[in-house]
Amino acid sequence: MKTWFRWPSRTESFVWPYKIDTDKIIKAEAKCLIWSEQLQDATPAIVKMYYRRGIANFIRGKIITFRAQREFRILRHLDRKGIPCSKPLFWTCGYCKEYGFYEILCTRQIPNTISLKAFLASKSLFIKDIDLGSLFQTVCNMHRCGVYHGAFSTKNILIDATGKAQTKFYIIDLARAWLFSSSILGKKIAWHDLLKLIRNCESDLGIGYCQPYLVQYGLGKGNIQKFYQDARHYQSYSRKQKRIKNALKVKVFFLAILTKLDKGAH
């Protein structure tokens, strides 16, 4: 196995052929595998592997950044800013016969948590009075420090399910995220993150449930009304709305490249 980035004390667990315990698999998708693992120093971890990436993706990773590398850097940025998230431990990439070109991201496992999606789907009495204030404050802080999530649904948010007085939320899975050099508060990309989150929450909690928390995020009354008015135009899955979404993705991608080039120039 050839590896281009390696922390020997951490990555020795992943010398191929490496047998993954099927009972520890959290998610198995085409070209992506996530499982829980205990590292050699007894650290409980979550391992995400992108595999069968292909030579084109590898070359793109060398030119811009590897997917796992980018996610590691953004999680480290959030962690340093004190924003609750899955703490990154290391990333690595390489090639092996079993998985082809692969990238691995390892993060510390967050105990006593479940996804916000699973929590809301439980329909427990508690969710009727769930306080989302700290969540929207976390989102505000994330955008203020220049991070666009890109897939900000309730499945990518963990909630502390221990019943503490102050509910705590954690941001995870930033595979589509980008880090910008300055705040994105008020930008269209930040609006896209909010739209995804509010749609998911209000599908279980009712339309308008998140409106008071948008004040905590930092939106004024007029902007909140405009947000809900504009959101109605994005309910359709028509070709027009798909074009708008794809155009936003392209815009974010090129903004990220320009940001990287700007940093390189300095």
- Domains of the chain, with CATH numbers? 2-108 (3.30.200.20), 113-265 (1.10.510.10)
199-225 residue pLDDT tens: 899 888 888 899 999 998 988 888 888
pTM of the model: 0.82
Q: Is the pLDDT of residue 235 over 60?
A: no
The band of 130, judged by pLDDT with boundaries at 50, 70 and 90, is confident
Closest to 72 (Cα-Cα) out of 160, 162, 10 = 10
Q: What is the pLDDT of residue 204?
A: 87
What is the phi/psi pair of residue 14, to 5°? -110, 30
| Nearby residues of 9 by Cβ (< 8 Å), 6 or more positions away | 40, 41
Q: How far, in Å, are 85, 138, 163, 216, 227 from residue 46 at the CA level?
A: 13, 22, 23, 31, 36
The band of 17, judged by pLDDT with boundaries at 50, 70 and 90, is low
The band of 45, judged by pLDDT with boundaries at 50, 70 and 90, is very high
Q: What is the pLDDT of residue 124?
A: 61
Encoded tokens for 113? 């948590």
- In this structure, of 88-102, 155-169, 174-188, the range with the lowest mean pLDDT score is 155-169
Question: Is the C-alpha dihedral spanning 178, 84, 78, 143 positive or negative?
Answer: positive
Q: What is the pLDDT of residue 29?
A: 85
